[in-house]
């Protein structure tokens, strides 16, 4: 019996990794996903976080930029974890959140920052966020609430398109 809490997204195009790693998708997933455990931790649910998420319809240049940044993100994380076997994605992103909040890092977090080159990770994410916002044609200054409002409206727009027979597949060859 499989574990229904494991979500795998097997898409070969780093464009999708880039979009799914963006602030826009994180805001969506945190609002649409579930919660679990004592800490009420966020839970990514395929049916509510991935399936209805309205991916941007990208111009060629926007898609190439997001793809390039998605590949950079993947390579950076793999390279730093390969060089430091005890380094975890969770640790890097916890330090990233503290950096973004302007909080002081503990000694352990400073080691993670150094090993994970978390400032580089932040730069890649900042560039990725800007590229994904550009693909949607939205300003990067949107609040989380405004992002959700726009995504919900876009989701409804796409649902109407599907009713008329126009379906935007992630893998159009199918």
Residue with tokens 């978390």: 118
Q: Are 53 and 25 in contact (CB under 8 A)?
A: yes
Quickly state the pLDDT bin for 161 (edges 50, 70, 90): confident
Q: Which two tokens stand for residue 45?
A: 């649910």
Q: Which two tokens stand for residue 150?
A: 């726009």
| Cα–Cα dist 85/66, whole Å | 28
Closest C-alpha to 128, from 51, 71, 58: 71
> Residues 36-94: pLDDT tens digits?
777 668 888 888 888 889 999 999 999 999 999 999 999 999 999 999 999 999 999 99
Residue with tokens 């503290």: 98
Span of 42-46, 94-98, 99-103 with lowest mean pLDDT: 42-46
Q: Which two tokens stand for residue 4?
A: 């229904």
Backbone angles phi and psi of 20, in degrees to 5: -70, -20
> Residues 107-154: pLDDT tens digits?
999 999 999 999 999 999 999 999 999 999 999 999 999 999 999 999
- pLDDT of 1 above 60: no
| Cα–Cα dist 6/45, whole Å | 9
| Cα–Cα dist 48/85, whole Å | 33
């Amino acid at each position: 019996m499989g574990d229904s809490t494991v979500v795998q997204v097997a898409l070969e195009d780093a464009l999708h990794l880039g979009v799914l790693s963006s602030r826009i998708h994180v805001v969506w997933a945190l609002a649409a996903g579930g919660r679990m455990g004592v800490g009420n931790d966020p839970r990514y649910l395929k049916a509510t976080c991935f399936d209805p998420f309205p991916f941007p319809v990208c111009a060629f240049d926007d898609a190439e930029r997001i793809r390039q940044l998605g590949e950079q993100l993947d390579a950076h994380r793999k390279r730093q974890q390969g060089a430091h076997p005890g380094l975890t994605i969770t640790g890097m992103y916890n330090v990233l959140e503290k950096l973004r909040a302007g909080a002081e890092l503990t000694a352990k977090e400073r080691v993670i920052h150094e090993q994970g080159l978390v400032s580089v990770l932040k730069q890649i994410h900042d560039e990725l966020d800007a590229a994904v916002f550009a693909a949607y044609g939205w300003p990067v200054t949107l609040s989380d609430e405004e992002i959700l409002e726009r995504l919900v409206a876009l989701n409804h727009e796409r649902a109407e398109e599907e009713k008329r027979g126009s379906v935007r597949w992630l893998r159009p060859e199918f």
